[in-house]
Structure 1
């Protein structure tokens, strides 16, 4: 069986309904409304998303990171649901700081199983996830008062200095790739090129087996704004590593420890769909 065939079997056997619907949309020409329908089960009455949509915390309450994941799934599926996204933006407005920033999580996660890296640092509003959410909403064409505030906050925060940690820099690149002011966004390309090797949690070496943010996270497709940051050799090295990392069961392994077996399988499904997307984009 091919890489694709074994990955498809893994998703069908182990993946959540959401990843199964997303896979079918991306690779089998299924209607993207299936992805929207699957996301509805994660949206709370307050408009936010929870219920372990991002599998590393098993908390039903609405969290900023789960809103980001919901929007990313809509973008990936090439669809939108205006009422769903508007309700999420309303929730963000209700929990954001006065300037518009939101946090990844809140203390409510302490009552539920979660991965060890989920600590109180996730309760602090920051670029992660505010910049990613704002960028994805711009990509979806959203217009909302919260997005206006968040956009200005992201600009002012980036002007004060680029993030020193790779995840925060990554979400900043999502914002910069999709924010409407293109000239202003493009002015950050060269500073980020110079800054990227200095940030923590960035994994430039394709042979490094540890967890880290790689060039393919910044440039998952050749058309990405950030593809120009990396040489062909860097991209090819990480693509080769991505191919090698597929496991015998068809899925991709994780380089961190989720809170349980269910979360592990769920996240492996997420990573498997992402791996297939990236490999297809570059082939």
Structure 2
């Protein structure tokens, strides 16, 4: 069975409704409003998103990390729902510091099953996820006072230096892409210094890869990487497809359901990247 068919069958069999709707939109021409409808089930009355939209914690409360996943899903589907997004940004504004910064999660997660890494460090406001959220709002074309306030905070933080973790830099680059303040050489030199950056395609460990910084050939940050680097990671991505058609994850979610949910997410993402690079 070919890569795409095996991945499609995994999504149809084991992914949650949201990823099945997203797959149908991206690969089968389904109406993107189906993705928006599926996202509504994760949105709370306060406007934020929760209920394990990001599957590593099973907390129903609104959390910025879940808002980020909602924005990513809308962007992947090419979907727009200004009211849904505005309510989410109003919620971000309500929980932000006076400068606009937000954390990934909060103490509410402690009452529910969660992955081991969802702990106190995720309660601290930071560039991860604030910068990424601001950048995604720019991509969505949504203006909001919180976006501008948080963007000013991000710019001030980045003037002090880049994050030292690959996740943090990934979020920072989502923001910098829209500022006009871009130094590719500086970023390229910083990448090997990052914790959790997996530049070597042969490395099987957990990490952020060049394909996550440049998931399509026309990605803004594509010039950071050579053709050889990206081809090696594309080869590795193909090789990493599992016998059941899906892609595995390299961390431990809180349970079997969360594991399948996350595998559904990364499988749709892998197929999107392989399609974008003409490797399907």
Moved more, 190-199 or 37-46: 190-199
Structure 2 residue 23 is the aligned partner of structure 1 residue 23:
yes
Residues 1-283 of structure 1: matches in 2 within 5 Å? Answer: 1-177=1-177, 179=178, 181-182=179-180, 184=181, 186=182, 188-283=183-278
Deviations 1:92-124 (A, max 9, x none): 010001100000000000000000111100000
Superposed displacement of residue 222, structure 1? 0.8
**Cα distance in 1, alignment partners of residues 205 and 185 from structure 2:** 27
**Cα distance in 2, alignment partners of residues 224 and 278 from structure 1:** 11
Deviations 1:146-180 (A, max 9, x none): 11101101111111101111000011111122x2x
**Cα distance in 2, alignment partners of residues 100 and 225 from structure 1:** 25
Please list every run of at least 4 consecutive aligned residues from structure 1 whose deviation after the TM superposition is greater than 2 angstroms: none
Indicate the SS of the match to 1:225. Answer: coil
**Cα distance in 2, alignment partners of residues 56 and 14 from structure 1:** 17
Superposed displacement of residue 189, structure 1? 2.0
Deviations 1:209-242 (A, max 9, x none): 1100110010001111211111111101100000
Structure 2 spans left out of the alignment, 5+ residues: none
How many residues are treated as equivalent by the alignment?
278
**Cα distance in 2, alignment partners of residues 144 and 205 from structure 1:** 39
Structure 1 spans left out of the alignment, 5+ residues: none
Q: Please tell me the root mean square deviation across aligned C-alpha atoms, in Å.
A: 0.7
TM-score where L is the length of structure 2 = 0.98
TM-score where L is the length of structure 1 = 0.97
